[in-house]
Structure 1
Amino acid sequence: MTHPDAEQTRRALLESRPDLVDGFDEHLPAARAAVLRRLWTALRREPIPGVAGVKTVGGDALVTLTDGRMAIGPALDQYAEASPDVRIRVQVNGGTGAYADPAELLNAVDPQTQGLQRELSNSVANLALARTGQPSVDLTELQGDPNGLAVLEQSVVDGHPLHPCCRTRLGMSTADVLAYAPEHRTPVELEVWSVPPSRWLTTGAGTPPRLVLHPWQAAHYGDDLRRLGGRPVERIVARPLMSLRTLAAARDPSRHYKTALGVQMTSAVRQVSPAAVHNGPLVSDLLSRLAADLPIRVFPEVAAGAVLVDGAPHPMLAYTVRRAPLPQAGDVWTPLAAVAQPDVLDQILRIGYGGHPVAFWRDLTTVLIPPVLTLLARGAGLEAHGQNLLVRLAYGRPAEAGYRDVGGIHLHAGRLREAGMDLPAVQGSLVTDGLDELRAKPFATLFAVVLTEIAHTLQQRHGADPQTLWRMAADLAEQAPDPRDRLALAGTTLPIKATTAMRLAADPVADIWTPITNPLAGV
């Protein structure tokens, strides 16, 4: 398997893309600092093995390890751009080492973490490459453009704002990353394979026995598929979106293909599980009916298919089809992750608000918070992070919310019944009986991550008062339909996924949560 670090990436660029070497070298120190900041934040707040306690003294954070040693570094804000000069000092071998490289820092804290160290090094290399040669995005040119959503998705170069593995692509070479990653904007030819009908499972609206396969996947699984009787019959030119393995058809941008991809990105290898094939259309229908009277548009998974191997759907030979929005004149649909980018946010404020951040925040939170909390009250806890949650900008102003990807939501049978809905026969771990678990998804994603990141940028770049921003958000939260949700949102903490602790856990895909200070409290 290929997991290039910065040195290996640079060598690959010298051989195949020497025009990118100078840009890669320029961006590497800041990319290393950005991943270090994410890791240092995780060490200070997540339940990381080997960490015994954390305290802040002046402008420094002190992390005490279980073996009595100490790590010392600046108490960086979770969204601040870390300086390449930042060093984290760790007591080691009777002395103190100073670390700017996240993998070296993790090794100093715990040498038994070689797997995550490799992921961090790969993340640094790919982040530096992602930041190399990025074009600017002009929102006014994208208004009414059916490809505008894809363009904005491809502009999100830094990936997950908090995950140290924000740009990990384990298994992909540098050439693969340049060919397939969205930030490099290369069109991808999906392969359509004919499959024997006896080996085909489909759900939803149904599809003929045709498997849509990512070309990386075809290169690695094509021989297996041929032995099963498959053969390539067609190609679909598509644009890779934020998740890399989901792509928008060039001829029909309203059609998104979510493919299986045997590559680890952030926290998991990106398969399309049997549960996802089964659940997608069912849960999409349920969520669409739950939201029928709400100002949020659900983009459904209309069909799914998988190849049967030994009688069971194979998670690496499967895909789903999702509908995507098409804009009207003056409209741009965008994921919230793109809105959080400083350059895009600057343009929104200029186009729609004459530079006034508070008016924008008022409209954004009014569009997002009520429908998400109403769906929570009705039994659907959305995973409303910056990739799944969309907003329609009408001449620069937030006008409508959108939601996609039902695979990560939680459903509560009791609340669904109260809303007049039956729980569909879903597979996997979507259903929960616990209200805290149900709330964790939207509380963590919408409030603790997406809105917190945007509020930070509005404060840092546009002088917005955070108390004013969060008071407006709290006023909307206090209108949540269920009083138990209102009470939970008024608490002193919110949950957030402990992504680094999850990578170090025995089961790296099981959710682990950690509390952070609730910005809605006390405003």
Structure 2
Amino acid sequence: MVVAEHTHPPTDGHTPHRPPHNETVPHPTADPDGTRAQLATLRPHLLDAYDTALPGAHAAILARLLTALEHEPLPALTGRHHHNGHTHVRFTRAVVTYPTAAATPFTDPLPAPAATVHGETVTDPARLTALLWPGSPLTTEIANSVANLALARAAAVEDLTEGPGIIEQSLVDGHPLHPCCRTRTGMTVADVLTYAPEHRPVIHLRRLLVPENRWYGTAPPVLLAHPWQAERLLTEYPWLTDDGDTGPARPLMSLRTVAPLDGGPHIKTAVDVQMTSAVRTVSPAAVHNGPRLSALLQDLTADLPLDILAETEAGAAITAHGPDRRLAHLIRQAPPDDAIPLGVLPNLLQTVHDPYSFMEDLAEVLFRPLAVVLERGVALEAHGQNTLIRIVDGRPVRAYYRDLGGVRVHPGRLGADPGLHGDLPTDDLTELRTKLSAAALATVARQTIAALQQHADPARLWQTIARALHGTADTQHLLTDPLPVKATTAMRLATNPLQDIWTRLDNPMKEHR
């Protein structure tokens, strides 16, 4: 049965968070050497492939880190200049020099990229981090990212079967800009092999019965827990009762969200694991907001080629600290099996026959609807993981948006207070435009154009996007304001790593305003 909501106030709208006092910060896990040592026992047949993949993993993560040095407002940075194809970045304790072309995002890294610091040639991004910011936990996070990326590439396969979640498990490299793109802080190597989507596992969630007086939300009082998390929760909370497992499911790009093999709704769970920048739990605000915001957005997009994948139910167990983000889940409508996440799309664009027509279609089903929804009062954070495209006969025909925790809502434009908790409501139009631009334009559009530009003129592709953005209340800003890019490395090094820090790039659509 559905239990009425508890009245304890949710705290915020973000899934990423600092662990509160009732949680422990996940300990950093294996670096490349430690991973290899464990792999010798766990999957010895992967050792040769791992060794082969490791230099490329170092290069890929170093390229992401050098891109941060190229653009971000990093701690102890005092200046940068370019000369003869090289960038010289000055810090209070060092000068870093590297080929400028090594810091080009969304492209394959240069062969054997390296930076020079104090006369030392550095090819290991963790070593570079240690030299620039001694004692920072970012060093161990990046080392873990390198190890897990090499492990993912070592285990990659060409042929994939069909079914829910398969296309998402084909993404090997993770976040295209974040040097912690494959960090799994808190998980052992065995855990990564068992649960990470790039290793194509099938898992079963645990059903944990919760006393009704300890339940918050619209879902029945049964916590659907990730098996990695359930083991810890059952030890910590004796009032939880293990009621067995669910049917088989595949973890999606986010690891903690799964697609049941029977085609049922997706289930977003909580895990005390840091992936990229945050520990991935489900906030009380998300439990409150999901079903309400889903209904609002489905009404708002009814006339657009953009479907909102509704969060239909959500719930959290109540501990001494109220509805607990570590003991929570969301139920979400599944996309069509053939819908492709934007993060996977660049891998498939080499076969596009006409890149200009493809971009025209993509602009009409994605970029223009996002601008229209923004004009109506909601900024969707349409990035590579939470936005999918359905392609028919080589043409994008519809977009799908999921995961509502990162949106921003403007009550004034909506004409009503939607009753949302946390930081989703805002009256700051700049914040709304930044939310849309950073994800859809500065990341998705740049990555897609980078994948197409081998056979197309990038300026013409940007012009196509610009045309699609014309005619809405925010057109002038979207086409002329510098493109905001989240400074993920600067954020990891900041005192508060969850406070957004931005860097801004020239807007390539300026001339098309």
Same fold, TM exceeding 0.5? yes
Q: Which of 419, 438, 447 in structure 2 is aligned with 1:444?
A: 438
Instruction: Give 1:356 shift.
Output: 2.2
Instruction: Give matches, 1:402-413, under 5 Å.
Output: 402-413=400-411
Q: Who is 1:334 aligned against?
A: 340
d(CA) in 2 for partners of 1:176 and 1:209? Answer: 28
Q: Who is 2:303 aligned against?
A: 293
Contact 1:30 1:83 in 2 (8 A): no
Root-mean-square deviation over aligned CA pairs: 1.5
- The Cα offsets for residues 465-490 of structure 1, whole Å up to 9 and x where unpaired, read as 111111111111223x21xx111122
Q: Who is 2:173 aligned against?
A: 158
Q: Structure 2 unaligned runs (5+)?
A: 1-26
- The Cα offsets for residues 30-59 of structure 1, whole Å up to 9 and x where unpaired, read as 111110010111122111111111222121
Q: Who is 2:7 aligned against?
A: none
Q: Who is 1:108 aligned against?
A: 131
Higher relative contact order (CA 8 A, sep 6+): 2
Q: Who is 1:237 aligned against?
A: 248
d(CA) in 1 for partners of 2:194 and 2:468? Answer: 43
d(CA) in 1 for partners of 2:184 and 2:155? Answer: 20
Q: Secondary structure at the match of 2:254?
A: coil
d(CA) in 1 for partners of 2:138 and 2:65? Answer: 11
- The Cα offsets for residues 96-146 of structure 1, whole Å up to 9 and x where unpaired, read as 111101111111122142x000000000000011111322257xx85xxxx
Contact 1:196 1:230 in 2 (8 A): no
d(CA) in 2 for partners of 1:474 and 1:137? Answer: 37
Q: Who is 1:474 aligned against?
A: 466
Q: Who is 2:5 aligned against?
A: none
d(CA) in 1 for partners of 2:372 and 2:196? Answer: 35
Contact 2:408 2:425 in 1 (8 A): yes
Contact 1:192 1:236 in 2 (8 A): no
Q: Which of 86, 95, 110 in structure 1 is aligned with 2:113?
A: 86
1:257 lines up with 2:257 in the alignment: no
Q: Secondary structure at the match of 2:343?
A: helix
Instruction: Give 1:311 shift.
Output: 6.4
Contact 1:491 1:518 in 2 (8 A): yes
Amino acid at match of 1:78: P
Q: Who is 1:357 aligned against?
A: 355
Q: Identity of counterpart residues, as a percentage?
A: 45
Q: Who is 1:371 aligned against?
A: 369
Instruction: Give 1:161 shift.
Output: 0.3
Q: Which of 190, 195, 202 in structure 1 is aligned with 2:210?
A: 195
Bigger CA drift: 101-110 or 371-380?
A: 101-110
- The Cα offsets for residues 332-359 of structure 1, whole Å up to 9 and x where unpaired, read as 2111111022xx2224x2xxxxx22222
Q: Who is 2:62 aligned against?
A: 36
1:521 lines up with 2:510 in the alignment: yes
Contact 2:307 2:401 in 1 (8 A): yes
Q: Who is 2:396 aligned against?
A: 398
Q: Which of 131, 146, 152 in structure 2 is aligned with 1:124?
A: 146
Contact 2:350 2:451 in 1 (8 A): no
Q: Which of 506, 512, 516 in structure 1 is aligned with 2:495?
A: 506
Instruction: Give 1:398 shift.
Output: 0.4
Q: Who is 1:424 aligned against?
A: 418
Amino acid at match of 2:130: N
Q: Who is 2:96 aligned against?
A: 71
Instruction: Give 1:84 shift.
Output: 4.7
Q: Secondary structure at the match of 2:59?
A: helix
Contact 1:258 1:320 in 2 (8 A): yes
Amino acid at match of 1:334: I
Amino acid at match of 1:171: G
Bigger CA drift: 401-410 or 104-113?
A: 104-113
Q: Who is 1:20 aligned against?
A: 46
d(CA) in 2 for partners of 1:311 and 1:53? Answer: 45
d(CA) in 1 for partners of 2:460 and 2:448? Answer: 14
Q: Secondary structure at the match of 2:339?
A: strand
Contact 1:240 1:246 in 2 (8 A): yes
- The Cα offsets for residues 164-188 of structure 1, whole Å up to 9 and x where unpaired, read as 0000000101110010000111101
- The Cα offsets for residues 240-278 of structure 1, whole Å up to 9 and x where unpaired, read as 000000000112x24100000000000000011111111
Q: Who is 2:194 aligned against?
A: 179
Q: Who is 1:209 aligned against?
A: 221
d(CA) in 1 for partners of 2:234 and 2:108? Answer: 42
Bigger CA drift: 314-323 or 501-510?
A: 501-510
1:308 lines up with 2:318 in the alignment: yes
Instruction: Give 1:310 shift.
Output: 2.2
The alignment of Structure 1 onto Structure 2 pairs a total of residues equal to 484
Q: Which of 323, 328, 337 in structure 1 is aligned with 2:333?
A: 323
Q: Who is 1:457 aligned against?
A: 451
Contact 2:486 2:503 in 1 (8 A): yes
Amino acid at match of 1:365: A
- The Cα offsets for residues 290-344 of structure 1, whole Å up to 9 and x where unpaired, read as 11121110001000011111261111111000001235xxxx2111111022xx2
Contact 1:194 1:233 in 2 (8 A): no
Amino acid at match of 2:401: Y
Change (3 A) 1:84 1:14: farther
Amino acid at match of 2:60: A
Change (3 A) 1:478 1:26: same
Q: Which of 218, 223, 232 in structure 2 is aligned with 1:220?
A: 232
Contact 1:137 1:152 in 2 (8 A): no
Q: Secondary structure at the match of 2:340?
A: strand
Q: Structure 1 unaligned runs (5+)?
A: 350-354
Contact 2:204 2:245 in 1 (8 A): no
- The Cα offsets for residues 404-431 of structure 1, whole Å up to 9 and x where unpaired, read as 11000011111111xxxx2222111111
Instruction: Give 1:492 shift.
Output: 5.4
Q: Which of 122, 126, 135 in structure 2 is aligned with 1:99?
A: 122
Instruction: Give 1:61 shift.
Output: 1.0
Amino acid at match of 1:412: H
TM-score by length of 2: 0.91
Contact 1:254 1:325 in 2 (8 A): no
Q: Secondary structure at the match of 1:314?
A: strand
Q: Who is 2:23 aligned against?
A: none
Amino acid at match of 2:229: Q
